Amino acid sequence: DIQMTQSPSSLSASVGDRVTITCRASQSISRYLHWYQQKLGKAPKLLIYGASSLQSGVPSRFSGSGSGTEFTLTISSVQPEDFATYYCQQSFSTPPTFGQGTKVEIK
Amino acid sequence: QVQLQESGPGLVKPSQTLSLTCTVSGGSISSGSDYWSWIRQHPGKGLEWIGFIYNSVSPYYNPSLKSRVTISVDTSKNQFSLRLSSVTAADTAIYYCARAVAPEDSGSYWFDSWGQGTLVTVSS
């Protein structure tokens, strides 16, 4: 299985800060990398697919980049509704695997 | 906009079989390009893919669970189901059903629609 490792595991940010989350794959996954947001008690929500494509309806302050083994999710100006846990997921090979999550908390 | 809703018992005894159903609305489960999926999340933990079924007949399972999992589709009811046999306390989790879309030109798939999740506790 391909291992996905996110860093940091958690971070504190103030409203308006730029937030960057990194996801590393244990082998090259091209751009088969997707990002999800999960709020407490809710199902995950797709934010970014194919490393950098914004899912319909997702605010443009979210962006993704990377290829191969290293990827980033950036929130350009974090808003109160963005405080949540973020997961990356690879679909390069089966089984699809998720990172362990990055919790974004209010400073 | 497709919507998914899980249903099934919230409590299962050890060694028994966990059975859940996902009802799909707003779209047809017979759509040939979608993967109908089950994903679980242990309390306070990350996400684990259980398996999915493609084109109503081709299931794929996580090797770690393959010997105990069956995913099937009922196209007449627009539902798909999960059966997980010989459960233990380690199978206590929130179970989500989800749709993975796989656009032809992408060579990839991602989970774009999720049910709200249902907590299944394994306990005697």
> Which pLDDT tens digit goes with each residue over A12-61?
999 999 999 999 999 999 999 999 999 999 999 999 999 999 999 999 99
**Chain A residues interacting with chain B (CB cutoff of 8 angstroms):** 1, 31-32, 34, 36, 42-46, 49-50, 55, 87, 89, 91-92, 94-101
**Residue A95 to residue B62, Cβ atoms within 8 A:** yes
In this predicted structure, the answer to whether residue A85 has a pLDDT above a threshold of 80 is yes
- How far is residue A17's CA from residue A1's CA, in Å, rounded to a whole number? 35
The pLDDT score that the predictor gives to residue B107 is 81
The pLDDT score that the predictor gives to residue A10 is 98
**Residue B116 to residue A42, Cβ atoms within 8 A:** yes
The pLDDT score that the predictor gives to residue B104 is 83
Minimum distance, in Å, between the CA of residue B30 and any CA atom of chain A: 22
The partner residue sitting opposite B110, judged by closest CB among A46, A94, A97, is A46
pLDDT digits (tens, 9 = 90+) for B65-99: 999 999 999 999 999 999 999 999 999 999 999 99
Contact A51, A65 (CB under 8 A): yes
- How far is residue B29's CA from residue B22's CA, in Å, rounded to a whole number? 11
**Residue B46 to residue A94, Cβ atoms within 8 A:** no
pLDDT digits (tens, 9 = 90+) for B20-59: 999 999 998 987 789 999 999 999 999 999 999 987 788 9
The pLDDT score that the predictor gives to residue A90 is 98
Of chain B, the percentage scoring pLDDT greater than 90 comes to: 85
Chain B residues closer than 8 Å to A46 by CB:
110-112
**Residue B62 to residue A32, Cβ atoms within 8 A:** no
Contact B117, B95 (CB under 8 A): yes
DSSP readout, A11-71?
EEE-TT--EEEEEEESS--TT-EEEEEE-TTS--EEEEETTTEEPTT--TTEEEEEETTEE
Mean pLDDT taken over chain A: 97
The partner residue sitting opposite B110, judged by closest CB among A34, A43, A99, is A34
User: Checking DSSP bridges between strand A53-54 and strand A45-49, what pairing results, if any?
Assistant: antiparallel
- How far is residue B98's CA from residue A34's CA, in Å, rounded to a whole number? 15
Chain A residues closer than 8 Å to B69 by CB:
none
Higher pLDDT, B6 or B105: B6
**Residue B110 to residue A101, Cβ atoms within 8 A:** no
- How far is residue B76's CA from residue A48's CA, in Å, rounded to a whole number? 33
Find the mean pLDDT for residues A53-78: 98
**Residue A99 to residue B117, Cβ atoms within 8 A:** no
Count of A-B CB contacts under 8 Å? 54
Contact A62, A75 (CB under 8 A): yes
